[in-house]
Structure 1
Amino acid sequence: MYETFGAVVQGPRVEFHLFLPDNARDPSQYFRGGSPRIKQIHVRGDFQDAVGSQNWSLDQTFKMQRLEHPHGWLYKLAIEQDLNDGYYQYKYFVEFENGTQRWVSDPIAKYGGNDQNENSAFVIGGRHTVVHPIARRRPPRDLVIYETHLDDFTAAFRHDKTPVDAFRERLDYLQELGVNAIEFMPWTAWPGSGFSWGYDPVAFFSVENRYVDDPAKPADKLVKLMELINDLHERGMQVIMDGVFNHVRAGNDPNLGFPYRWLYQVPSDSPFIGAFAGGGFFEEFDYQNNCVAEFIRDVCLYWLDRFQLDGIRFDYTLGFFRQGDAGVGIAKLIADLHQSLNQTGRSNVALFIEHLTDNRFEAIRDTNDIGAAGCWFDPFMFKHFEYCRNGNIDSGILRILNANLDFAPGKEPVTYLENHDHSSIMQEAGGRGRWFKTQPAAIALMTAPGAVMLHHGQEFGQEEWLPGSGDGRVVPRPLRWEESPLGGDAIGTRLFGLYQRLIAIRQRHPALRSPNFFPFPFNHPEGYGAFPEQDVVIYHRWGQAEDGGFERFIIVVNYSDFDQRIDIPFATDGHWEDLLNGGVVFVDNQKLRRQKINSNWGRIYYRKA
C-alpha cells in the first residue's frame, strides 16, 4: 500500500499522494496515538515555475484534497500540466488546527533533495532501466558474503564519481576474490549530507543522496543503483540490503527528522513512534500499531520487488521482537515477506537477523521462532578475537565451529571474523606485523558450517580499532587499497590469496556448507577434537558432493606459534588430497602419525567416496 503513495509520476505529469492512518476509520491502524489535526496541506517545490506559478511560493493553487481512504485519509494533488524532463524537489507545507505551520518532507519520497533542507524529489523522463533478477539465487548456506560501506570502500579512488558508480570499478576485484553476495550497509537516506553508517534513517523509500548524487545527472539517482545491482547479478553476485527497521531518527527539526512524526500537530501523537520492546537507539517504531507493521512491510517489499534484492539483513531485531508472539514485530514482518515471496515464486531470499541477546546462543532459539533464514553469529568472532589475542584455544572452540548446532533445518548462522560494529581481526591479533595469527581463523571460518561473511578490507588485512561508543565510533575509515594486492603489498597479497583459495575450496564442495560436524561436545578417543596443550583442533565434515556422490573432509588447524607434530585420525583408509597445501597422502589404519602442521596454519584433507 505505502509504496503507491508519494510523488506518482505518469509520463510528463505528477500527482502527490499523502496517506495518514485514522483509527476512527480503521480501528486496527493504531492503539496508541492520535489525530494529526491538520487543517490543510499545500505542495511546494521547484516545479511551480513550469506550471505558471513561482517556485516554492505559497500559491493556494497547490492545495491538496482530503479524500476518504479505507484505513484513514488520503491527501491528493494532481498537477494538470505537463512538466519537462528533469529532477524536481518538493515539500509539504502543513497548516495545523492551532494555526502553526510546518514544512515536512514526503515520508514515501523515492528521491532525496540536494541540500540541507532535506527536500523530497521526483523525476520526469530521464534514463530508465529494469533490474533483472539473478539467474540462480543460491540458498543462504552457500553464500560467501562481503559486507561493505559504499563511502569507505570507494573513498580512495572515486574522485568526482558517486560511490555507487565508483563501486562498479571494483567488481572484477570482488569476482576474483570469489565472494558471491554483497551486503551493503544501509543505503536508505539519513539526516543531513555528512558521513554516516546509515543506522539513523529518516526516508525509507529513498536512496541516500550522498551515494548517488551526480550534479551533472541529477535524474539518474535510482538508475545508478539499479545498474549496479544488474552488474552484480550478471556476475552471479547476490545483493543484500542492510535494513534498519527497529528505530528512526525522529529529530528535533522537521527538516531533519522522520516525516510521519512531523505531520502531527503534536509530534508525540504520531502512532508510528513509541515504546515497543525497549532498548535500541534513537526513537522506536511502535509495532503494536498496525500502521507501523504495514509501513515497514511495504518498505521491504519496495526494495525486494523493484530492485530485485536477494536478501535483507534486519538490524537490531531484539528491539522489535516479543518472545512467543508471532503476530507482532519482526516475526510478523518475516511471515508477511515470506508470504509475498512465495506468491511471486521467489525462493532462497536471505532474510537474516541481527539479534543481540545477552546470551548470544539464545538468538538461535529466537531465529527459529521468528522464521528468519539465519542470524549473525557473534560467538564465532568473539572467540577468535580471544584466540588471536591470547594465542591459545580452549575446548569452547568445538561449539563455535559446530555453528549450525540448534538451528532448525534450513536456518543458518552467519559466521564471521569481523564486521562493521567491531575492531578488525588484525587489530585483535596485535596489528599487521602479526598478520599470520589471522590465518588459522580464516581456515576455520571457511571450513565450518554456516553462511560465511567477510568485512571489507579483511581480505587484505586492514587494521582498524573501533571504540565501543562515543564520537570516534562512526567516522570514515577508508579502505587502504595500497595495502591490497592492487597496491602490491606483500601481506595484503598473501592474505588475499589465502581467502581466495579458501573461498574456492568452499564453493566447490557442498559438504563444507552442510551442517555435519564431528566431534561435539567432547573430544573423541580416536583423536578428533580440541587440544589446548598444542593449540590444535581436528574435525570431520562430510556430505553430498556436487555430482551426488559423497565427500569427506578432515580439517586440522594449528592456532599456535609453533609447528606441531600431530597424529591425525581419518574416517576411512585410502588416498586423501590436501586441498590447502597440495599433495596426496595415503592413510592406513585410519591414521597419519606425527604429521607436521606448520604454525598458524592448517590442513584440509579431502576424499570422495
Structure 2
Amino acid sequence: MQRESIRMYAYAIDFDLIKVDLSLNYYNGISSQYYLKNLDTSEVKILKGEATEKENGFQSYLLHTDFSVGTRYKVFDNYGLACFLDFSQLSMSKEFDDHFYYDGDDLGSHYTKEKTTFKVWSPLSTEVVLKIWKDEDLHYYPLERGDKGVYSTTIKKDLDGYEYVYVIGMNEQSIETADPYAYSCTANMHSSVVIDLDKVRRVDYPLTELKHNTDAVIYEVGVRDFSVDEYGQITHKGKFLGFCEEGTVTKNGFSSGMDYLDMLGVTHVQLLPINDYATVDEDHPDLLYNWGYDPAQYNVPEGSYITDPNDGYKRILECQRMVRCIHKHNMRVILDVVYNHMHDVNNNTLEKTVPYYFFRRDENGELSNGSWCGNDLNTTAKMCRKYILDMCKRWQVLYGVDGFRMDLMGIIDIDTVNMIYEQGHALDSSFMLYGEGWNMGTALPDSEKTTIENNHKTPHVGFFNDHFRDTVKGPNQMEVKGYTSGDTYKTNEAIIAMCDYNKFLSIEQSINYTECHDNATVFDKFIISNGHEDEYCRQKRCLLTLAMTILAQGVPFIHAGQEFLGTKNGNQNSYNAGDAVNKLDWERHDEYMNVVQAVKFFIDLRKHNKCFRYYDYEDMHQHVFINNIYYRMVEYHLTQDEGDYKEFKIYFNPSYDVITIGIEDDFKILYSMSNERIENGQLNVFGVSMVVCAR
C-alpha cells in the first residue's frame, strides 16, 4: 500500500510511548485525543499527548500509556479513524533486551517419539501458528505466548521427518518463516525439518592436542572447489562426501583429495562457508556458483553440497561425515563463518521472527552497512549475540568443527568475539578463533570493534596479518611489488614481518598469509608486477613467497592451489566466476609437483622444529635473530634446544645479485632453490633464490 494513501500510522516506540503519524491531508493532521482499544478484551483507554514535528506530509503525536506487547490493539483518532498498533520498532529501544532477553537453551524443535516441542522467540508478534506436514498430512497448531516473548506448543505425535514453518502474525499481517533454530531444512529454505537427534549423534576420531596456535598450518579451500575438477578423479564432485574418498589419484597417478592433503602435511583445513547460503539453487546446484558469503541460514549446512538437499537427515549426516573424515587424517576443521551480515535483510528467519532487531542501525535509524552488503548484524543485541553463540556451539558439538575464521570480524563487537572464544575453548582446549580485523565503517564505536588495532583486547583471537601480506608479496594493487617480487627497499619491513616485533599482543595472533580466496593469486599478481621476467623466475618468486609464509614466526596460512602456483587467469574477485576459475586444478598440481614437494619440505621443517613455532615473545627474542644482508637479502637465524638440528640459517634473496656470505663449514644445506653449495666457509646465494642451512 502506498504511504500517501494511508492517513494514520501508530507505532510503539518505547514501552510506555506510542507515536501516531496523522496525514496533513486529513483534518490538517489535527486530532485532540486518541483511543487505544485492546482487541482481545475490548477495553478502551483515552490517550492524550503532544503534537511534535511535521514531516513528509504527516503530523506526529507522542502518547504516553501502558500496553502489553504481543496483544492486538487498535488506535482511534477523535474522528473514528483507526489503525493497528505496530510493535515492530519497539525492538530498537534500549530497554527491549531487558524485557525480552531469553536465556533458555530450548528454542527450536525438540523431538521424542511420543511428542515434539516447538519454541520460537518472537516477542513482537501477536500470533504464531505452526504449519507442519508430511506428504498429504498437513496440520496447523497455534502456539501459546509465554515469558520473554517465547511462543511454544507440544504436539503429542511422532513427527520424525515432518516439515514445518512458523506463520508469524503481526496484527492483520502474517508471514511464513523457517525456524532459525531448526537442525535441518529442505532445499532453498522452503521448510524446516523435525530431526531425531539420536539418529545424528556424532562419532569422531580422537585428535592430538593442539598446544599452541603456532603449531597449526592452515589450508583454505572451498567444498565445491576441492573436488569438482575431473582431473582429480574424485567421485562426489562439489560435495561434502568428496572429502571422504580415499585412494583417489589424478589422471597422471599422483594423489588427489584427502590423501594429497595428508601428504602435504597441513594441520587445519579451513572451509569457505558451509552454512546455508542464498545464491545457489540447491535443487540445481550446477547452474550457479558462489563462494557462500551470502548467508541465508546459520543453523544448517548448505544444500548444494549434499547429495539430496531435500533429505533433512543427509544434510546433517554428510556434513558430519566430512568433518569426521578430515579428522581421520589428523587434520582439524575451521569453518569460515559470516556473522557480519546476511544476504537479504528481509528474507531471513531472524528478521521475519523479530523485525528490526537483529540488524544494526545508526543514530538515525538507518541500516548500518559496514559490510557493503546492505546490512550489518547487530551483535551487541543480547539475543543476536546469544544466537551467534548458540550456532557456534552447535557447529562444534553436533558437527565436531575445531574453530572458526570470522569474515569481516571488525564489524563484530569485542565482547561477542571473546565470548565465542571462551565458549569454544571450554568445549575444546585446541579451539582456534581468528578473522579479518579490518576497521569497517559499521555503526559501532572503534573502541568496540574487533580490529587489528584492538588485538590487545582479544588476546586469544588471531588476525589476518595484512602487514605481512603487503610487505612480502606486495599490496593488492597488481603492479606494486613486495619484497619477494623484488622490491628490496622493503628488506627491513620483511624482517619485521617475519618476526612480528610486537605488532600483536601475542605471536599466536598473527595469521601470516600472502594469498587467500579474495583478490588475485600470487602467481597472477607476479605476471603483472614482474611481467618483464621469464616464467621460471616468477615461479621462484612464488616459492620464495610460500617459504617465507610457512617459516615465519606466527601461524602460516596457505590458499588451496597456492602450493602449485594456482591461477584465476587474473580474476581478482572470483566469488561467482564458476568452477573453471575457482576449482582446485589437479592437472596444474601434477605440472608443478616440484613446487609442491618444496612446500611439503617447508611444512615438515616447521612441524619438526620448534624454532619456527615460538609462541612466547621472550623465547623468540632469545632464539631468533634476523639480519639485513647488503640491503637486499634476509638472513633468518634460529636456534633451539631440541631436535636433530640446534641451529638454522635461512637466506632469502629476491634480488638479481649473487650474494656471498661467510658460514661455518659444519652447516649443511637442507634445501637450496638454485643448487647452492658451501665451499671453504662461504656460501654464494644466487639471485632470486633461497637456501636452508642447519647444524
Give TM-score, length-normalised by structure 2: 0.70
Matched residue SS, 2:299: strand
Q: For 2:584, give the aligned amino acid.
A: L
- Please state how far the C-alpha of 1:218 moved relative to its aligned partner: 5.0
Question: Which among 390, 398, 404 is matched to residue 312 of structure 1?
Answer: 404
The answer for the alignment partner of 2:264 in structure 1 is: 177
Preserved contact between residue 576 and residue 585 of structure 1 (Cα < 8 Å): no
Residue 640 of structure 2 is aligned to residue 528 of structure 1: no
Matched residue SS, 1:580: strand
Question: Which among 291, 294, 297 is matched to residue 386 of structure 2?
Answer: 294
The answer for the alignment partner of 1:325 in structure 2 is: none
- Please state how far the C-alpha of 1:470 moved relative to its aligned partner: 9.4
Preserved contact between residue 658 and residue 686 of structure 2 (Cα < 8 Å): yes
Question: Which among 417, 420, 430 is matched to residue 334 of structure 1?
Answer: 417
- Please state how far the C-alpha of 1:181 moved relative to its aligned partner: 0.6
> Which has the larger Rg?
2
Q: Distance in 2 between matches of 1:411 and 1:273?
A: 31
Q: Distance in 1 between matches of 2:544 and 2:270?
A: 25
Question: Which among 469, 488, 499 is matched to residue 381 of structure 1?
Answer: 469
Q: For 1:350, give the aligned amino acid.
A: M
- Please state how far the C-alpha of 1:258 moved relative to its aligned partner: 2.0
Q: Distance in 1 between matches of 2:600 and 2:626?
A: 30
Preserved contact between residue 123 and residue 219 of structure 1 (Cα < 8 Å): yes
Question: Which among 142, 154, 175 is matched to residue 63 of structure 1?
Answer: 142
Show the 5 A alignment for 1:38-437.
38-47=125-134, 49=136, 54-55=137-138, 59-60=139-140, 62-68=141-147, 72-83=148-159, 87-97=161-171, 99-114=172-187, 116=188, 118-124=190-196, 128-132=201-205, 134-157=207-230, 163-169=239-245, 170-192=257-279, 193=281, 194-214=288-308, 219-252=313-346, 257-264=347-354, 267=355, 269-275=356-362, 279-282=370-373, 283-320=375-412, 329=413, 331-341=414-424, 343-344=426-427, 346-357=428-439, 364-383=452-471, 384-385=473-474, 386-387=481-482, 391-394=486-489, 395=491, 396-403=493-500, 405-409=502-506, 411-430=508-527, 434-437=538-541
Matched residue SS, 1:261: helix
The answer for the alignment partner of 1:557 in structure 2 is: 652
Preserved contact between residue 290 and residue 578 of structure 2 (Cα < 8 Å): yes
Residue 514 of structure 2 is aligned to residue 514 of structure 1: no
1:369-395 CA distances to partner (integer Å, 9 max, x unpaired)?
222332111222223132379533223
Matched residue SS, 1:248: coil
Preserved contact between residue 488 and residue 654 of structure 2 (Cα < 8 Å): yes
- Please state how far the C-alpha of 1:418 moved relative to its aligned partner: 0.4
1:435-468 CA distances to partner (integer Å, 9 max, x unpaired)?
2221211222222111101101111111125656
Change (3 A) 1:443 1:494: same
Matched residue SS, 2:582: coil
The answer for the alignment partner of 1:449 in structure 2 is: 553
Q: Distance in 1 between matches of 2:372 and 2:578?
A: 14
Q: Distance in 1 between matches of 2:607 and 2:189?
A: 48
Change (3 A) 1:558 1:94: same
The answer for the alignment partner of 1:28 in structure 2 is: none
Q: For 2:213, give the aligned amino acid.
A: P
Q: Distance in 2 between matches of 1:408 and 1:277?
A: 30
Report the number of matched residues.
536
Residue 671 of structure 2 is aligned to residue 580 of structure 1: yes
Preserved contact between residue 519 and residue 573 of structure 2 (Cα < 8 Å): no
Preserved contact between residue 524 and residue 568 of structure 2 (Cα < 8 Å): yes
Preserved contact between residue 517 and residue 540 of structure 1 (Cα < 8 Å): no
Preserved contact between residue 189 and residue 207 of structure 1 (Cα < 8 Å): yes
Preserved contact between residue 186 and residue 310 of structure 2 (Cα < 8 Å): no
Q: Distance in 2 between matches of 1:349 and 1:95?
A: 41
Per mean C-alpha deviation after superposition, the further-off stretch among 494-503 and 465-474 is: 465-474
Change (3 A) 1:527 1:457: closer
Matched residue SS, 1:287: coil
Preserved contact between residue 112 and residue 158 of structure 2 (Cα < 8 Å): no
Q: Distance in 1 between matches of 2:486 and 2:260?
A: 32
Q: For 1:444, give the aligned amino acid.
A: M
Preserved contact between residue 377 and residue 413 of structure 1 (Cα < 8 Å): yes
Give the share of equivalent positions with the same residue, in percent: 19
- Please state how far the C-alpha of 1:110 moved relative to its aligned partner: 1.9
Q: Please tell me the root mean square deviation across aligned C-alpha atoms, in Å.
A: 3.4
Q: For 2:627, give the aligned amino acid.
A: Y
Q: For 2:328, give the aligned amino acid.
A: E
Q: For 2:430, give the aligned amino acid.
A: N
Residue 90 of structure 2 is aligned to residue 7 of structure 1: no
- Please state how far the C-alpha of 1:182 moved relative to its aligned partner: 0.5
Q: Distance in 1 between matches of 2:600 and 2:574?
A: 35
Q: Distance in 2 between matches of 1:290 and 1:407?
A: 29
Matched residue SS, 2:327: helix
Q: Distance in 2 between matches of 1:220 and 1:240?
A: 21
- Please state how far the C-alpha of 1:527 moved relative to its aligned partner: 9.7
Residue 501 of structure 2 is aligned to residue 501 of structure 1: no
- Please state how far the C-alpha of 1:545 moved relative to its aligned partner: 2.9
- Please state how far the C-alpha of 1:208 moved relative to its aligned partner: 1.0
Structure 1 unmatched ranges of 5 or more: 23-35, 321-328
Structure 2 unmatched ranges of 5 or more: 1-102, 246-256, 282-287, 441-449, 475-480, 529-534
- Please state how far the C-alpha of 1:340 moved relative to its aligned partner: 3.1
Change (3 A) 1:312 1:530: farther
1:198-236 CA distances to partner (integer Å, 9 max, x unpaired)?
222121111111122436965222111212222222222
Q: Distance in 1 between matches of 2:561 and 2:626?
A: 36
Preserved contact between residue 527 and residue 568 of structure 1 (Cα < 8 Å): no
Q: Distance in 2 between matches of 1:340 and 1:428?
A: 40
Give TM-score, length-normalised by structure 1: 0.79
